[in-house]
Structure 1
Amino acid sequence: MSAILVVNSGSSSFKYQVIEMEGEEVLASGLVERIGEESGHTRHTTPSGTWESTRPIADHTAGFGAMLDAFAEHGPSFDEHPLVAVGHRVVHGGKRFHEATIVTPLVKINIEDLSELAPLHNPANLAGIDAAEKAFPSVPQVAVFDTAFHQTLAPAAYAYAIDKALAEKQRVRRYGFHGTSHKYVAGATAEFLGKPLSSLKMIILHLGNGASMCAVDGGRSVETSMGMTPLEGLVMGTRSGDLDPAVLFHLHRKTDMSFGELDELLNRRSGLLGLSGHGDMRDVQTAAASGDEAAQLALEVYLHRIRGYIGEYWAQLGHLDAVVFTAGVGENNPLVRAGSVAGLSEMGVAVSPELNEAPGSGARVISPESSRVKVLVVPTNEELEIARQSLAAVNGE
């Protein structure tokens, strides 16, 4: 029986799962956080229970040590479930990485070089890889890139209309993100509908605190809303999404805001938070229901942007079989789902109020039986997708 350890590493924490690949069963999951602080924290969960501990964790290598101690004390045993790979989420693969890749010294150099495009993520992802290599020196490490799924975008979809030579030199283009989630959901949607993925045209809405949309044609990403960075596109919890670039010039001239302050504004003080004072959609909805006009506007702007992207992507696809909601907000928020397709019934897109509001945890159809386009909720599973791609990479598939 073989297993994959999936690692999602941040600057001061990492999440992990061990998945037995024969039955795709999660054997254990956990979190190591507050790395570098005086008091680190570890949570380890198996089917038998959850255990937590507190101890100093100096760096990611020490964090992996804490994780291994949890496995040794609470299981499962790596002797009984030997690891065939450690799969790592890596946010930015640029245009170099089109698929999951076994980590080599050259791959690590490339991940580091791409850190200028994802300075908050790639260095942390690389720290997790380094720590895993020390903890499991004989196990292949596999990098699974958020951007890889979108490498099928045509030049017309990824090119920005600026000086071509400058753009190429500075690597300015659309890369897209949430690719691991979009790829998993596309496959899961086809499986649920009982149709070949190659025959389907769909729009996937990954709606969480970060949010993106993707037009998928025959299993290939052909449009996506995030751009060179995860800032472009939809209104998000704290990110602005699409914005006239001249707004930045105007703010700089009028307020003397620095580049760092403008970056902080658009990434951490905008979106739902900037419009309403609430960064969590649940809080926005509660405030809007109580009559808060700022929250009502924030919700309207959020949904207006989504509907616009649905129309744009339909035009690019030329035909539409399914609209699919996933991630935290997409899977759990009936109001957002209904609002996202409101007014689109003439295009064949609608939700059934009863199906949309009925509780559920698995893949399900929420559109009326008569709808030309299926509207679905399909839970994402990025960890499983990373595990599948990691196994394929070590098997040379």
Structure 2
Amino acid sequence: MADITQILSINSGSSSIKFALFAFGAGLEEQQLDGAVERIGQSMGRIWLEQAGQRVLDRQQAFVDQSAALQAVVAVLSELGITHPDAIGHRIVSGGPHQQAHVCIDATVLKDLRDALAFAPLHLPAEIAAIESLQKIWPEKPQVACLDTAFHHSMPELAARLPLPRNLWQEGVRKYGFHGLSYEYIVSQLPDQGKAPTIIAHLGNGASMAAVADGRCLDTTMGLTPTGGLVMGTRSGDLDPGILLYLMAEKGYSAPQLERLLNHLSGLLGISACSGDMQVLLRQRENNPHAAEAIAQFAYSARKHIGSLMAVLGSVQRLIFTGGIGEHAAAVRWAICRPLEALGFHLDPEANAAVAQEARRISAPESPVEVLVVPTDEDLMIARHTLRLLGTGTP
């Protein structure tokens, strides 16, 4: 390998691709650029790129599919003189029952990912398409699957097993957990590497929490798929299973209709009847009671899950907010923590309201529980795992 190793991190969605390029060497770990392709499959899309925090490219063009979007990414990198990254790492939401650790991609891994489509139907098709497209563009470049489920593989069976017939467990029907790359990064930033009992709240359009102690996950809020757990942007979170039986028996819902209902029409969007975007709801809450209700239900859902994870840990020393909402929505953090003061969560109003990009403490000095905001970096975790699996060492 060259003295400097370049790793391209890819995070694929159904209508967007985020990417970042990292350079590693002796004492070097540097993000060289990041960008995204947006509105894939629409009449007009967008590709943008930033270096050192400066926007160096922002272009409107159509991208008919994932392959076209990735060809555009490669072309933009070539314009900057970057034609041959040493490897590509992909965020893979779920590897299903057969792939549960970060792994170099080969034909067997690809087959296992295709077989796991039912475990993450919103995410895996785009992620597999990205792998296959880059295999055609750069057939000689190694690619790595970095699994969002890997961090949670340490969960004890007591937490992972669902109360269903045992044969379903053998078929892979279990709690997998997600947002693992984010949780890994947060743990890596903690002075004690997550040894103290900690709750990490990754709050974004998709939202989950994890209970961490001794550096490992003991339980998490998402289950078999990324649909369960907290109320989310357009996903329902946990529901009484009887609701689904009712909708099928009484309303004639089919499986595709249920999938659309639970993943695309529910959550904040369903409650507010106007938007699944928390920033939009926060702007409207004073004049729109449905927006205010959606925010309140999100915070209520978060508080309940904090309580359940406290029961798992036995005690909690830290609560960490991360993700788009967790990092940037001070009003939401306040709504979550204020009713929990009797349990030791005391926020400092000024620290909570401050706008900052770096990690910071937002709890009051006398708070029994330390509350932190820590920006996450899933792209960097993808690059680190890719570098490690290439055999070039851990940065």
Same fold (TM > 0.5): yes
Partner of 2:260 in structure 1?
264
Letter in 1 for 2:382: I
Counterpart position of 1:19: 22
Residue type at the aligned position of 1:187:
S
Q: Are the counterparts in 2 of residues 39 and 55 from structure 1 also a CA contact under 8 Å? A: yes
Long gaps (5+) in structure 1: none
Residue 276 of structure 2, aligned match among 274, 279, 286 = 279
Residue 69 of structure 1 aligns with an amino acid whose one-letter code is: A
The 2-side partners of 1:269 and 1:64 are apart by: 29
Q: Which amino acid aligns with 2:47?
A: T
Asked if the contact 1:187/1:219 (under 8 Å) is kept, the reply is no
Decide whether the 8 Å contact of 2:177 with 2:225 is kept in 1.
yes
Residue equivalent to 2:144 = 142
Identity value in percent:
38
Report whether the alignment pairs 1:377 with 2:373: yes
Q: CA deviation at 1:93?
A: 1.2
Structure 1 range deviating more: 340-349 or 156-165? 340-349
Change (3 A) 1:62 1:339: closer
SS of residue matched to 1:83: coil
Instruction: Tell me if structure 1 keeps the 8 A contact 2:99–2:112.
Output: no
Q: For 1:355-366, what aligned pairs fall within 5 Å after superposition?
A: 355-366=351-362
Choose from 75, 83, 86 the match for 1:84.
86
Q: Deviations over 1:128-171 (max 9, x none)?
A: 112222222332111101111111111111111111113433x2
- The answer as to whether partners of 1:207 and 1:327 remain within 8 angstroms in 2 is yes
**Counterpart secondary structure, 2:116:** helix
What's the TM-score, normalizing by structure 2? 0.91
Q: Deviations over 1:291-332 (max 9, x none)?
A: x43333322221111111111111111221210001111111
Q: Return 5+ residue gaps in structure 2 as ranges.
A: none
Is 1:66–2:67 an aligned residue pair? no
Query: How far is 1:107 from its partner?
Result: 0.9
Q: Which residue of 2 aligns with 1:175?
A: 176
8 Å contact kept, 2:95–2:149: yes
TM-score scaled by structure 1?
Answer: 0.90
| Equivalent in the alignment of 2:213 | 217
Cα 1:352–1:66 change in 2 (3 A) is same
1:58–1:283: structure 2 CA closer, same or farther, 3 Å change rule? closer
Question: What are the superposed Cα offsets for residues 5-34 of structure 1, whole Å, 9 maximum, x if unpaired?
Answer: 011123444221111124332212222345
Pairwise CA RMSD? 2.1
Report if aligned partners of 1:18, 1:28 keep a CA contact under 8 Å in 2: yes
* 2:54 paired with 1:51: no
Q: What are the residue-to-residue correspondences of 1:157-236 with 2, within 5 Å?
A: 157-169=159-171, 171-188=172-189, 190=190, 195-197=191-193, 199-236=195-232
Q: Is the 8 A contact 2:48 2:55 kept in 1?
A: no
Provide the rounded CA distance (Å) in 1 between the counterparts of 2:13 and 2:236.
Answer: 23
Do the aligned partners of residues 61 and 232 (structure 1) sit closer, same or farther apart at CA in structure 2, a change above 3 Å counting?
A: closer
User: Quick one: structure 1 residues 137 and 201, their matched pair in 2 at CA, closer, same or farther if it must change by over 3 Å?
Assistant: same
